[in-house]
Amino acid sequence: MTTATFLIQYLNALQYGLLLFLVASGLTLIFGIMGVINLAHGSFYMTGAYMAYALAPWVEGHLGGGFFVTLAVGVILAVALGYVLEWAFFSYLHEREHLQQVLMTYGLILVFEELRSLIVGDDVHGVKAPEWLAGSIPLGDVMTYPVYRLFMSGVCIVLALAMYWLFRHTRLGMRIRAGSTNREMVQNLGIDVSRLYRVVFAGGVALAVFAGMLAAPVSSVYPGMGNQVLIVCFVVVVIGGIGSIRGALLASLLIGVVDTFGKVLLPQAAGVLVYVLMALILLWKPGGLFKAG
Amino acid sequence: MDVVLDARGVHAWYGASHILHGVDLVVRRGESVGLMGRNGMGKSTLIRTLMGHVARREGTVQYLGADLSRASAHEMSRRGVAYVPEGRGVIPNLTVRENLLMAARAPQMDGWTLERVLATFPRLTERLHQPAGLLSGGEQQMLAIGRALLTQPQLMLLDEATEGLAPLVVAEIWRVIDEIRKDGIACLIVDRNYRRVLAHVNRAVVLQKGEIVLEGDAAVLCADARLTAFLGV
């Protein structure tokens, strides 16, 4: 492996890991703080990708177009979707058993897939990266690397830093971290925990949708695309420790590296490497790398 | 004196078991009331019911003239009722500072600020940036009381605030409880050491099987022979 190919694989691993983090961070928060196993989280990622495809022409027609405008419209819709879903479904799941949560959220996957099929059909679509990000930069003598992938990584890093700041330095962050350990005490201090959960859930949905929109130009848009992401995200949550944002970041980056380099160096075993990694880490630390909060 | 808390005919159930059988309780402004009784007589249940934590309850709870009979815990807190539960309820994964600030509200003229809480509990200052889970039991209790004060309460519900603490720390907690009362904050205090409670409150009530069987001024109750019978000591 030459330096240039190594660098390219490394950048791919980083980009994949960071994108995974955006989806998995919401999943780990919803699981760790609200205590809800949300199988439908992958559907939000898919929804995001389809939004990138379907919203762009609408934004072009009504708001004058623009990549960031499309992203912003998508995130606003995602927050609204998260609020409504939490109010209508997930607020009833907090105190329920895991089996009921799994049944309910699996049902939501089917509903989302059917709605997707009705609204945009079952075809695979490509989404173009905006023109100013469509180029490539040279790496070494013959290799190039697409600017859009670098842009994705940059955006993910900015979001990860923003999340760090939110959790460490704002009262909302303190309350969210407290909510994962002692729900009743948080209420005793005058904080409406149901509203806090709704905010967390909407935030998690927005992150997954945003990740889907961001990924659409490199992954293309296809039915069932959320399911694959969902499974890897659960691996991230388990490795990182349920409810831990730090853990989710580290686990995502680890999986990014193992998966990307696995496909290059050990293609025969690439499909199982991520799970081997999970098994090894759980043998070492059965509760995952970090604790919640 | 104006009435801060006026609870009438409070009943409470945990599942099928009927725990409180029509409790009437009044707490006036700046007054501290001891809530006494043997284990399992309903003291904690009464406090939790007043705070809105018991789903099946009857009766009325008026706080500063507002009907809060069906209010939730966060609503009670927002109105100015602070609850320091048995076991303290500090958030172990947050630092001392974060515990104090997570729910702090802006003080009125002479309310409680972070500086004032730290001046009252100097030991918290040294540990400000440590996770609260690493604190000793006494320090956690100080943190829980300090955090409650920062919500600017007019009524504090203190459940077993000195349980399991060393004598010196117990003395310090009582010193602070006195300071809180002098500040004009009403207190409802549950504590196992009833002699100590009577030395620090204006009035006390004794619960037996979910009913108030004895109540009166602390000094009078101290000399009442029935007290030892009800408390089983």
**Residue A56 CA to its chain's centroid (Å):** 21
- Under DSSP, the state recorded for B224 is -
Contact between B83 and A188 using a beta-carbon 8 Å cutoff: yes
Identify which of B92, B93, B151 has the shortest CB distance to residue A189: B151
Residues of A within 8 A of B98 (CB-CB) are: 174, 177
Residues of B within 8 A of A180 (CB-CB) are: 93
Contacts of A156 (CB under 8 A, 6+ apart): A15, A18, A19, A21, A22, A214
Reported as a single tens digit per residue, the pLDDT across B68-86 is 999 999 999 999 999 999 9
Domains held by chain A: number: 1
Residue B40's pLDDT is what?
86
A196 assigned to some structural domain: yes
Q: Lowest-pLDDT range, A249-263, B82-96, B215-229?
A: B215-229
Kindly state whether A246 is in contact with chain B, defined as any CB-CB distance less than 8 angstroms: no
Q: Lowest-pLDDT range, A139-153, A227-241, A271-285?
A: A139-153
CB contact at 8 A, A108 and A43: yes
φ and ψ of A150, to 5 deg: -65, -40
Residue of A nearest to B84 (CA): A188
Residue A61's pLDDT is what?
85
Residues of B within 8 A of A183 (CB-CB) are: none
- pLDDT above 90 for B174: yes
Contacts of A82 (CB under 8 A, 6+ apart): A198, A201, A202, A203, A204, A205, A206
What rounded mean pLDDT belongs to chain A?
93
Reported as a single tens digit per residue, the pLDDT across A215-258 is 999 998 999 899 989 999 999 999 999 989 999 999 999 999 99
Domain carrying residue A271? 3-284
What are the residues facing B156 on neighbouring strands? B82, B187
- pLDDT above 80 for A1: no
Contact between B72 and A187 using a beta-carbon 8 Å cutoff: yes
A57 assigned to some structural domain: yes
Alpha-carbon radius of gyration of chain B: 17
Q: Which residue has better confidence, B39 or B156?
A: B156
Reported as a single tens digit per residue, the pLDDT across A167-193 is 999 999 999 999 878 889 999 999 999
Kindly state whether A270 is in contact with chain B, defined as any CB-CB distance less than 8 angstroms: no
Q: Which of B47, B54, B63, B74 to mutate to test the interface with A (most CBs of A within 10 A)?
A: B74
Share of chain A above pLDDT 90, in %: 76
- pLDDT above 60 for B1: no
CB contact at 8 A, A24 and A236: yes
Counts of helices then strands in chain B (DSSP H, E): 10, 10
pLDDT band (50, 70, 90) for residue B233 = low
C-alpha A173/C-alpha A169 separation (Å) is: 7
Kindly state whether A292 is in contact with chain B, defined as any CB-CB distance less than 8 angstroms: yes
C-alpha B94/C-alpha B103 separation (Å) is: 13
CB contact at 8 A, B25 and B10: yes
Contacts of A187 (CB under 8 A, 6+ apart): A193, B72, B73, B74, B77
Residues of B within 8 A of A245 (CB-CB) are: none
pTM for this predicted structure: 0.90
Min distance B176 CA to chain A CA atoms (Å): 20
Of B20, B21, B28, nearest to B48 by C-alpha is B20
Contact between A184 and B53 using a beta-carbon 8 Å cutoff: yes
Residues of A within 8 A of B73 (CB-CB) are: 184, 187-188
Contacts of A41 (CB under 8 A, 6+ apart): A23, A26, A27, A30, A204, A208, A226, A230, A233
3-state secondary structure of A228: helix
Q: Is the ipTM of this complex over 0.95?
A: no
Burial of B87 (0-12, 13-18, 19+ CB in 10 A): middle
Q: DSSP letter string over B25-66?
A: EEEETT-EEEEE--TTSSHHHHHHHHTT--SEEEEEEEETTE
Identify which of A174, A184, A185 has the shortest CB distance to residue B101: A174
Identify which of B51, B92, B101 has the shortest CB distance to residue A171: B101
A293 assigned to some structural domain: no
pLDDT band (50, 70, 90) for residue A5 = confident
Mean pLDDT to the nearest integer, A197-224 = 95
A69 assigned to some structural domain: yes
A289 assigned to some structural domain: no
Min distance B97 CA to chain A CA atoms (Å): 10
C-alpha A177/C-alpha B192 separation (Å) is: 33
CATH number of the domain enclosing A80: 1.10.3470
A292 assigned to some structural domain: no
pLDDT band (50, 70, 90) for residue A143 = confident
A279 assigned to some structural domain: yes
A290 assigned to some structural domain: no
Residues of B within 8 A of A188 (CB-CB) are: 51, 73-74, 77, 82-83, 85, 89
pLDDT band (50, 70, 90) for residue B28 = very high
